[in-house]
Amino acid sequence: MLHRTIVMPAGRHTASLIFLHGSGDTGVGIQSWIADCFDGTGDKQGFNFNHIKVIYPTAPPQPYTPMNGRISNVWFDRHKISYDTPEIAKSVDEMSDKLIQVLFSIIAAEVKAGIPPSRILVGGFSMGGSMALHLGFRNHLDLGGVFALSSFLSAESTVYDSIIEHQKTENSMPELFMAHGTKDPLVLFEWGKKTFQKLTSLGVKGQFHKFKYFHEIGFKELLMLRNWIVERIPNDTNS
């Protein structure tokens, strides 16, 4: 079981959101970073919702090759941070399976409480966004949406193959929100844009936004994401 931080809604819980942190971070860390983005802005809501439970899991520690094999909280391993470098499929699948087990328990609890998978969103920042793309478009196609901030998929990602296989039997897929900083020196803007273009060429419906950010989360980006979240899973007073 992964450690996770949970922020309950102010009102009746009718939807859920799972937010995955970037490499080397924690659920508490990404939650704090998001809160800091709203400090001093006058926005009293922040990233809190009247009806949405926000869940911040922490990735399990494992050796991470880009850090010379040092232990870090990461969702999967990779050879290096590069668009053209193939995924380490075994690592992605193992980490995905571990997180899926957690998601299954979360989804099962939400469904038992009367919340359908279509009212559950998954997303994240950097590596967390990449993991969310794997989860939403490989394993949990019944979710309400996926978001990825400053994230990318490898050029030959297994996600694309999974979408093509899925199209043979069904057409519905989660909607997508992606955003990226044009000054990002770690995960290049072009990688995120190419990822979005390839996903949408395969039938994924979504939106892509650019900001004058480095490798970071920003206030304007979070406002736009917050609006998208509420559009995807609005406050259902009849549920």
Question: Within a domain: residue 237?
Answer: no
- Altogether, the residues listed in the chain come to a count of 239
Question: What residues make up the domain containing 89?
Answer: 4-232
In the chain, how many domains are there? 1
- Look at residue 239 in the predicted model and tell me its pLDDT: 46
pLDDT tens readout for residues 9-61:
999 989 999 999 998 899 999 999 999 999 999 999 999 999 999 999 988 88
Q: What angle separates helix 89-112 from helix 127-134, to the nearest 10 degrees? A: 70
Q: Is 209 labeled as catalytic in the residue annotation?
A: no
User: Would residue 238 count as lying in a domain?
Assistant: no
Asked, for residue 182, whether it belongs to a domain, the answer is yes
Whether 126 is a known active-site residue: answer yes
Q: For CA atoms 193, 207, 32, 129, give the dihedral sign.
A: negative
pLDDT for residue 93: 62
CATH number for the domain spanning 205: value is 3.40.50.1820
- Decide if 10 contacts 50 (C-beta within 8 A): yes
The gap from C-alpha 60 to its chain's centroid, in whole angstroms, comes to: 16
Would residue 164 count as lying in a domain? yes
CA angle 231, 26, 10 (to 5 degrees): 40
| Residue 239 resides in a domain | no
* Residue 230 confidence (pLDDT): 97
Res 21: pLDDT: 94
Task: Examine the residue annotation and report whether 43 is marked as an active-site residue of this protein.
Answer: no
CA distances from residue 168 to 72, 145, 159, 161, 174 in whole angstroms, order as listed: 38, 21, 15, 11, 16
Q: Which stretches in the chain have pLDDT values below 70?
A: 1-2, 80, 87-104, 106-107, 168, 170-171, 237-239
**Where is 111: in which H helix or E strand?**
helix 89-112
Place of tokens 């802005």: 41
| Residue 198 resides in a domain | yes
Catalytic residue among 96, 126, 130, 157: 126
Indicate whether 39 belongs to any domain. yes
User: Would you say the pTM of this structure is higher than 0.85?
Assistant: yes
Residue 188 maps to a domain = yes
Q: For residues 213 and 22, what is the distance between their CA atoms, to the nearest angstrom?
A: 16
